[in-house]
Structure 1
C-alpha cells in the first residue's frame, strides 16, 4: 500500500470519524477490544473510544481498491512474469532432468541401488529438515513475522478507527502461500527420489510427501504468528533456539551415520514420534518398504493441528499490537534497503538486533596486568559474553567433519569438491569467532585507544580465534580418531590458521564496492558485475578453499604422514600470505574513512 493511497484512505476515515462523532449519541455502547486499549497506550492520552458508527473500514478499503487499481494491474503483471520465470527455471533445471531419468529407467537404467541408503537416512533426515523448517519460521517471527504490512498501512491506515482484521488477514495468508511453495517443491523432489530409487508409485509418493511438505510450513507460519504477538512465546523461542539447533545437527549426524551403515532403529522410532518433524517422516515412509506402523495416524496428527492452527491464527491476526507492527514494518524496510544496497552485514545486524540476539552473558575475567594482553582479554571476553557465537562455531564444525568422511572414499574431482565443502563449513565455523575484528572495522575510530597501527591491531585479532579454533579442531580430530579415523583426522586443526586468515581478509574488505556491480570488461558480451562483486566480497574463502582442497583431498584419500606434513606446510604458507593480504587491506581502511569523517 503506497503512502499517498493510505493517506487518502486515512483522510476519509478521519473525516468520517469526526462527522459521526459530532452526531453520535452519548449512550451508544462503545466497541470494546484490545485495539482501543493499544491505541490509548501508544498515544499516551485518554482517546475517545470509537463506536460502530465510526467504523468506516469497508469504505476505506473500497477507496483503496479503487485508488490502487492501476498499481494492482502492474503488480499482477510483474507477479505473473516472476511466476513464469520461476516455472520455466523449475522445468528446465528440475522437470526435464527428472523426466530424462524416468525415461532412462524405462529403457533399462537401474537406480534402485541408491534406495537402501535413501531409506536408511530418511527417518533422521526428515526429522532434521522438519525441525529446521519450524525453527526458521519461529526465528522469522522474532524479527519480522508472517503479518507485516507496509509502513504506509501501519503509520496511516491502522492508526485510525479501522478494524485491523480485514487489513491484516491478506498478509497472513500471503505468508502461508509463500511458505507452501518450498514445501511443494520438496514434495515433488521426494516423489522423484522415491519413484527412481524405491520404485514407489508416483501418485502415492506425492500424496504422502505432500502431508509433510504442506503441513510443516503452515505450522511454522502459525508458530511464527504466536511468537510475533506473544512476548512470552518470543522469550521461550530465544531460550530454546540453541537446543533446537543442536537437535537439528544431531538428527543430521544420525542420518549420515545411518547412510554409512550405522543406524540406531530404536532412536529413529523415538524421533519419528517425537513431534511434527518426525510425523512428516512417517508419512513419507508410508508408501515404501521401510514403512513405519501408524502412517495414517501420523498424517492425521499433522493435518488436524495444521487446520486448527490456521483457524486460530486467522482469528488472532487482529490482536497483534500496532506498536509491534510499526516496529516490524520499519525493521523489514531497513533490511530490504540494506539488501538492495548490498550491505549484507547491515542487514544481518538489523535482523539480529530485532530478534533480540544481542543479549549478553555477564561474564567477568580478571584484567591482565600487562598492557599487551589487553586486546586478547577484550576479544576473549567479547566471545564469552556472546555464547551464541561459540555455539554456532561448534555446530558448524560438525558438518565440516562429516563432509570429510565421503571425501575419504571419493575419487577425482568429487573428492576435491566434497573436501571444499568441508572446508567451507569450517570457514563458516571459524568466522563466528572473528566478530571482534569485524566490529573493529565497522568504525575504525574505535581503534583510537590502541597504541598499534590499525593494520597491526587487526593482525592481533586473529590470536584468540586461532587458539579457540585449534581447540575445536583438536577436539574434532580426537573424536574422529575415537570413531576409527586415520591420520587424516589431524587435518581439522591444520586447517584452522589459513581459514582464520581468510576470515580476516574478509573482515578488512571495507565499505561495499557497489561500483563493481556495474562494471564489465566485455560490455557487448553481458555484464559480469555480479561475479566481480562476489569475488571481492568473498575474496578470502574464494581463494583459500580451492587452494586448500587440493592437498587436503589428497591426504584424505591416501592418509600418509608425508602428505599430512606437506599439507601442514602449505597451509602455514597460505596463512602467511593471507595475513599479509589482510594487513594491506587493513592499512587502507583508515584512509578510506577520512573523507567520510570530514
Structure 2
C-alpha cells in the first residue's frame, strides 16, 4: 500500500464541465425557444380573439381616466401606509421563499451529478442566480401595474394618458427594484444558513409591522393623522422607499422619491 506524504491534488474540472453543459444545452435551448414562441403566439391570438373589446375599453380609459371622486382624497391619504404595507408583505414573502427553495434552483440531475464534483460552484450557480434576478425584476414590473391600475380606477390617474403612463411607470419601476433587492437578499440568505434563524425570528415582527401599516392606512382613510406619520412610514425601510414613487405620481407628498427609488437600486 502506498501512503501519500501530502495532500492529494484534485484537478479542477470546471472549464471542461461548463463547456460540456453549454454544448448539451444548445439543442435544448432551441427547442425551448420554439415552445415559448408558440405559447406567446397562442396567448396573443386568444387576447385578440376574445379580449379585443376589453383592450379597446382599456385604451379608451387610458385616454380619458375617471375624474377624482369623493373618495380620492381618502385614498391618497391612505396610500403611503397601504402601499408600504403591501411592499413589506411582498418583501417578506420573497425572503421567506429563500428558506424553501431560494432564488437559485438547480435541476435534480445537476444536484446529483455535479455539486459533489471538483467544479467551481460559483461558475455553476451564478448564471442561475442572474436568471432568477432578471425574472424577478420582470415579475416586479408586472406586479407594479396592479397598484397603478387601482389608483387610476379610484380617480387618481390624472387628466390624460400621459399622467396614467407616468403613474404606471413609477409603480412598475419601484416594484421591479424591490423585487430585485429582495432576490439579492434571498440569495444571501440561501448562501448563509446562519441567517435562516434570524429570518424566522424576524418574520413575526415583520407581520406585526404589516398589520400596523394596514391599521395606519385605515386611520388615514377615515381620519386625519399627523402628516409626519406618512413621512415616517415612507422612510421606514425599503418597503416605504418602494411606495414613494407611486405616492408622488398620484399627487401625494413624497418630494424625495427619486432618492428613495435610487436607494432600492
Q: Is the 8 A contact 1:258 1:264 kept in 2?
A: no
In 2, Cα distance between equivalents of 1:277 and 1:87: 34
Which whole-Å deviations, capped at 9, do the CAs of 1:227-282 have from their partners, x for residues lacking one?
Answer: 11212211110001011112112212322332334545332221111101001112
The alignment of Structure 1 onto Structure 2 pairs a total of residues equal to 252
For 1:100 and 1:288, the matched residues in 2 are separated by: 20
**Structure 1 equivalent of residue 198 of structure 2:** 236
Matches for 1:483-522 after TM superposition, within 5 Å: none
Within-5 A mapping of 1:242-253: 242-253=204-215
Q: 2:166, 2:249 within 8 Å by CA — same for their partners in 1?
A: yes
Matched, 1:157 2:114: yes
RMSD of aligned alpha carbons: 2.9
Please tell me whether residue 166 in structure 1 is matched to residue 131 in structure 2: no
Deviation sequence 1:64-89 (CA, Å, 0-9, x none): 23233333222222333444556677
For residues 170 and 28 of structure 2, the distance between their equivalents in structure 1, rounded to whole angstroms, comes to 40
Q: In 1, Cα distance between the equivalents of 2:256 and 2:233?
A: 14
1:258 aligns with 2:215: no
Distance in 1 (CA, whole Å) between partners of 2:133 and 2:227 is: 35
Residues 62 and 244 of structure 1: CA distance in aligned 2, closer, same or farther (over 3 Å): same
Contact 2:141/2:173, CA 8 A, preserved across alignment:
no
For normalisation by structure 1, the TM-score amounts to 0.39
Q: What 5-or-longer segments of structure 1 have no aligned partner? A: 1-25, 27-45, 304-598
* Displacement after TM superposition at 1:147 (Å): 1.1
Q: Distance in 2 between matches of 1:299 and 1:293?
A: 12
Query: What SS class does the counterpart of residue 144 from structure 2 fall into?
Result: helix
CA distance in 1, matches of 2:241, 2:46: 31
- Do structure 1's residue 222 and structure 2's residue 179 form an aligned pair? no
- 1:197-249 deviation line (CA, Å, top 9, x unaligned): 23062343234223311111011111111211212211110001011112112
1:274 and 2:236 are equivalent in the alignment: yes
Alpha carbons of 1:228 and 1:83: their partners in 2 closer, same or farther (altered >3 Å)?
A: farther
1:97 positional shift:
4.6
Cα distance change of structure 1 residues 87 and 173 upon mapping to structure 2, 3 Å threshold: farther
User: Structure 1 69/248 Cα, relative in aligned 2: closer, same or farther at 3 Å?
Assistant: same
Counterpart secondary structure, 1:161: coil
Pick from 19, 22, 29 the counterpart of residue 72 of structure 1. 29
Aligned partner of 1:99 in structure 2 is 59
**1:374-423 deviation per Cα after TM superposition (whole angstroms, max 9, x unaligned):** xxxxxxxxxxxxxxxxxxxxxxxxxxxxxxxxxxxxxxxxxxxxxxxxxx
Distance 1:241 1:285 in 2: 26
1:111–1:182 CA distance, 2 compared to 1 (3 A): farther
1:145 to 96, 99, 102: 102
Once residues 187 and 66 of structure 2 are traced to their aligned partners in structure 1, the CA distance between those partners, rounded to angstroms, is 46
Q: CA deviation at 1:192?
A: 4.0
Which of structures 1 and 2 has the bigger CA Rg? Answer: 1
List aligned pairs for 1:314-463, cutoff 5 A: none
Give unpaired runs (5+ residues) of structure 2: none
TM-score of the two chains, using structure 2 as the length reference: 0.81
Q: 2: CA distance between counterparts of 1:284 and 1:86?
A: 30
Paired with 1:244 and 1:208, the residues of 2 have a C-alpha distance of 25
Deviations 1:262-316 (A, max 9, x none): 545332221111101001112222233322232222122222xxxxxxxxxxxxx
2:204 & 2:58 partners in 1: Cα distance? 37
1:95, distance to aligned residue in structure 2 (A): 4.9
Contact 1:123–1:281 (Cα < 8 Å) also in 2: yes
| CA-CA distance at 1:141 after TM superposition | 0.7
Return the offset for 1:193: 4.5
Equivalent residue number for residue 254 of structure 2? 292
